[in-house]
Structure 1
Amino acid sequence: MNTLKFFSIAFLSSVTLGFAQDVNQARKAVDAEQYEKAKSILKSIIKVNPIDGKANFILGNVYLIQTETDSAKISFQRGLAGTEGSRLNYIGLGIIDLDSGNTIAAEANFALALKDTKKKDIEELVAIGRAYTYSIKPNYKKAIEYLNKAKAINLNDALTQLAIGDAYYGDKNQNEAYAAYRNAFQFDPTLLRAKMQLGVLLKGAKSYDEAIKSFNEVIAINPSYGPVYRELAETYYKWGRNKPSKSTEYMQTAITYYEKYLGLTDQSLHSRMRHADFLVLVKDYKALEVEANKMIEMDKVNPRIFRYLGYSAYENGNVDLAIKSLDSFIANPVNKVIANDYLYLAMAKFKKGLAADELSIDSTFFDSGLADIRKAIEIEPLIIEDLNEVGKKLFSMKLYKEAIPVFEFGTTNTEYKNYIEDNIYYGLSIYYANNKKDTTPNPIDLQKADLAFDKVITASPSYQDAYLYRARTNSLIGNDEMTIKHYETYIAKITEKGPEELAKPTTTKKVVESYNNIAASYANTDKVKAIEFLTKTLTIDPTNPYATESLAKLKK
């Protein structure tokens, strides 16, 4: 939604003189992301002249920003009957075609918009460039092609430069985007959007402190320019994500700036939904619940509100409301369901199925939740990276059997950011699930755990505990040969790190474990070796009961 906000700006400056003041007010409202105010102004123009081409085109674009495609289409079709600016409405219809994937129809509409234009006309070219830039299915190369045609006609047009900057930004060409935004602001110092975008580029490059300086320069020019506070909020949010030591402080700063931004918009349902989206990002679920209830007061039937109710209800402990709200949201065919919707529904079902003693999850709820996770992955495969936290929560509750399939998703691709950790937890979950009392170890499952630890070693050879985990797993399988091998490798890796590492209490405990288990593996086949390793245990832990008792038995 952020990308669409720029679209109408470029067409609000060239207007018929009769409505110049009103349209200028609408331009300012759109640029300030006060969409309801802009719609009110534009509708007043259309009331006087229903077929005003430019007013209908701009209104249609505001509707598109608010994802009201049907209303946008009506506005564009009405504008075609006008005279001044009527051709622009072919471009509006072309945007809808692009969004639906019908590029042939879009190009036909763009051709109609360009028909009979004069050599010095750039408005239609810029509009087409923006259409390709801000479509749901963008084509930045095509956008740049049209915008360069406009640039060739008028090199010093600020709005053309702004549009070029946006297209290059979308195409990930930061240098060209920077040059275009800089030019746009130089050509028109009142064009704060261009100045702000320079800070957005710095934010994207993770130069957060420099981005904040840039945004503060915009505020120095106009402290009432709302969008810059949203950018500040998002910058502090991202900075907090990248700097854990400052996370709490920066998240709170982000929320404060977003509240400032919201106060400078029209606080419409659309604005509140954007606010709700941000509250999800910063994980302020108490505030999200308040916001969701405010939105219900404004619109009791808007289906998207059920998403926010579902998220906040889950986080605030009301799993029944969470499941009911998310089921309602997902079941509505008009909603665009995202991966996170299914993930939250899955977590709510896991929580709903948790037994009173929290030692198990009802299989019906768990299986249904796991099916929801698979649906989430179908929508967005990278949601797998978010499953790490879900799995760790189950693991911390000692729900090892349930944690196994959750971690398994992240073990399949080395590109996943939690690949190593997911393999570790996947292996450990299998190990602990098979090491419970009254449980017969499953060799096939334990071999999967062994393979997971092997993947960890391949990806991170210096992580010596993986050898320890392989040794424990093979010990549970009953494979003495591999148990000995991996414990010995673990000891060798630790020894390489020197006496300081060996002297650490946690390391000493693991070394003792290794010696004792190697001895146990040798006990029935090589008593001399078994005695050798038990003796090693006693050199570092003279009163170790297992080594003492085992050594006494072996020497009989």
Structure 2
Amino acid sequence: MNKFKIFSIALIASASVAKAQDLNQAKKAIDAEQFEKAKSLLKSIIKAKPSDGEANFVLGNVYLNQSVIDSAKIYYLNGLEASDKKNLNYIGLGQLDLDGKNAASAQANFGLATKDMKRKDVNEFIYIGRAYINSTNPDYTNAIASLKRALAIEPQNATALLTIGDAYYGANNQNDAYKAYRDAFTADPTLLRAKMQLGVLLKGAKSYDEAIKSFNEVIAIDANYGPVYRELAETYYKWARNKPSTRQINYQKAISNYEKYLTLTDYSINSRMRHADFLILVEDYKALEVEANKMIELDKVNPRIYRYLGYSAYENGNIDVAIKSLEDYIKVPTNKVIAKDYLYLGFARIKKGTDATGVIEPTAFEAGLKDIKKAVEMEPLAVEDLGDFGKELFGKKQYSQAAAIYELSASNLESKNYLNDNVYYGISLYYGNANKAAGTHDAAALEKGIAAFDKVLVASPTYDEAYLYKGRIYNLLNNDDLIIKNYEEYITKTTAKGAEELAKPATVKKIVEAYNSIGASYANTDKTKAIEYFNKSLALDPANTYASQSVKALK
């Protein structure tokens, strides 16, 4: 009988150890971003032991990380029915409250999670800290406070140190984040994420060379640690964006590292979507279209795939597919539509209405512009994606349409393209009127052009071409005083640049234009000054017919 009891206890202990090992394997899979593997392990644990509250909680967290809210909530509620560590599931429900901006309810749930804690328990504090960090409405102050409670009990708890490092990083406290990550890795040298995060800090500081060295140190420890390749991919991507001369080679390195990351994680629909998001960042639309079509074969009902297909089809010239895919995505009320969806749909509608010569059918342009305006209403900084499209229209001499696009982007002072877009806005308005017959110019549009160049001069006082264009616009408006004033300003500022600038043929041509325009403006009021300026023009360009004929006429 005694032998039987000992054997039974041994079996129970063995089962408990096996369960703990399985849960630890699931947590390792999560850290390695092998989410499908983790879900499979956790479901097996729950099936074998439905009373396991922690397995339900961790599985709920995986689903929440993947934005599958309904499934996350189901597992949290199931976990509350468990007999073992059910209190952790209140933390999951608390994060859902935080996501819903219900801080009071979150605090109540966190209180339920911690009320029966033993004196030396720390995991609840760590999980609560993580909930504050991972929420769609993060609260780093409360995260740090919770994690400090854990570290007061276990100062060398590597998971708590890693998590507080993430909280400091989110709060832009780089120094304390660095110390926490370093201490976490010292406390547990197998915790590769802590060492990896040291490289993430360097990436954030734009020290791309040093970040890559740091990530390669992680690879030297474990070449199969998948997340480090994702970080490498993102580092090469950011390097390419911040230093365009490295764009081609660094984009390729970004793509190859992301593909390596995928081979070490999983090829589920979720990982494929992460891959698709990255392909958009590195502008590999051919690969994106291939991936989107593969995803449709795997999962014909996931609506986000139509976003990817819409973007890539547009970039690859398949305009009909782009319009249909994006319309199918946007029209479903439950789909989370973003500004970029409307931008691409607007671009596609305009392209659809453009003939072989570049002329755009007016109703098609208005329909596309309507979608583009929706995008800007949703996200004002969506205007940063308008510049290239505006330049394309400008290059095809569709000046009024280009101006309509630039009018949106030129009005946003926060846009990184604010200066450049105002220049193109003003130039588009000028060229849209330059070839019109006298008396048919759109005076209101030309005044907007002047206002755009005034904004340019506030943002960049040394952009002398603004005075040149203002002079040209006032020429169209027949305002002699302001023609003279702006062309004189252009001449003065250009002359101040010195002999080297004045020797350039392009500069000479513009100064001749300025002298001729000033001379023409004086012609009816001060013939002497008019002749003076036409002679200045002839001194630079003796063959200038307009100047020579004007001098003869004035004499």
Give matches, 1:331-410, under 5 Å: 331-359=331-359, 361-410=360-409
Question: Which residue in the other structure is 1:252 paired with?
Answer: 252
Which letter maps to 1:276?
Answer: A
Q: Is the 8 A contact 1:51 1:80 kept in 2?
A: no
Question: Which residue in the other structure is 2:459 paired with?
Answer: 459
CA drift at 1:508: 0.3
Q: What is the distance in 1 between the residues matched to 2:550 and 2:391?
A: 37
Q: Is 1:48 the equivalent of 2:43?
A: no
Pairwise CA RMSD of aligned residues? 1.3
CA drift at 1:233: 0.3
Q: Is the 8 A contact 2:446 2:473 kept in 1?
A: yes
Give matches, 1:229-248, under 5 Å: 229-248=229-248
Q: Is the 8 A contact 1:527 1:554 kept in 2?
A: yes
Q: What secondary structure is seen at the aligned counterpart in 1 of 2:524? A: coil
Q: What is the distance in 1 between the residues matched to 2:94 and 2:494?
A: 65
**For structure 1, which segment, 440-449 or 304-313, has the greater mean C-alpha deviation from structure 2 after superposition?**
440-449
Quickly say closer, same or farther: Cα 1:434–1:291, change in 2 above 3 A.
same
Question: Which residue in the other structure is 1:95 paired with?
Answer: 95
Q: What is the distance in 2 between the residues matched to 1:54 and 1:79?
A: 7
The C-alpha deviation readout for 1:525-545, integer Å capped at 9, x for no partner, is 221111111111111111111
Which letter maps to 1:415?
Answer: E
CA drift at 1:420: 1.5
Q: Is the 8 A contact 2:241 2:247 kept in 1?
A: yes
Q: Is 1:82 the equivalent of 2:82?
A: yes
CA drift at 1:438: 5.0
CA drift at 1:236: 0.3
The C-alpha deviation readout for 1:230-279, integer Å capped at 9, x for no partner, is 00000000001111111101001100101111111111000000000000
CA drift at 1:16: 4.7
Q: Is the 8 A contact 2:51 2:84 kept in 1?
A: no
- In the superposition, the TM-score normalised over structure 1's length comes to 0.95
CA drift at 1:334: 2.2
Question: Which residue in the other structure is 1:514 paired with?
Answer: 514
Gaps of 5+ in 2: 1-14
Q: What is the distance in 2 between the residues matched to 1:371 and 1:148?
A: 51
- In the superposition, the TM-score normalised over structure 2's length comes to 0.95
Q: What secondary structure is seen at the aligned counterpart in 1 of 2:370? A: helix
Q: What is the distance in 2 between the residues matched to 1:241 and 1:289?
A: 22
Give matches, 1:306-325, under 5 Å: 306-325=306-325
Question: Which residue in the other structure is 1:156 paired with?
Answer: 156
Gaps of 5+ in 1: 1-14
**For structure 1, which segment, 73-82 or 194-203, has the greater mean C-alpha deviation from structure 2 after superposition?**
73-82
Residue identity over aligned pairs, in percent, reads: 62
Q: What is the distance in 1 between the residues matched to 2:331 and 2:413?
A: 35
How many matched pairs? Answer: 540
Q: Is 1:494 the equivalent of 2:498?
A: no
Q: What is the distance in 2 between the residues matched to 1:416 and 1:290?
A: 33
**For structure 1, which segment, 98-107 or 111-120, has the greater mean C-alpha deviation from structure 2 after superposition?**
98-107
The C-alpha deviation readout for 1:374-406, integer Å capped at 9, x for no partner, is 221222211122222221121111111111121
Which letter maps to 1:165?
Answer: G
The C-alpha deviation readout for 1:161-207, integer Å capped at 9, x for no partner, is 01101111111111111111111100000000111011001000000
Q: Is 1:139 the equivalent of 2:139?
A: yes
Question: Which residue in the other structure is 1:218 paired with?
Answer: 218
Question: Which residue in the other structure is 2:11 paired with?
Answer: none
Question: Which residue in the other structure is 1:188 paired with?
Answer: 188
The C-alpha deviation readout for 1:380-439, integer Å capped at 9, x for no partner, is 211122222221121111111111121112333433222211111111111111112458
Q: What is the distance in 2 between the residues matched to 1:321 and 1:486?
A: 49
Q: Is the 8 A contact 2:237 2:250 kept in 1?
A: yes
Q: Is 1:270 the equivalent of 2:270?
A: yes
CA drift at 1:133: 0.6
Which letter maps to 1:527?
Answer: K
Q: What is the distance in 1 between the residues matched to 2:64 and 2:267?
A: 18
Q: What is the distance in 2 between the residues matched to 1:149 and 1:23?
A: 25
Q: What is the distance in 2 between the residues matched to 1:378 and 1:124?
A: 41
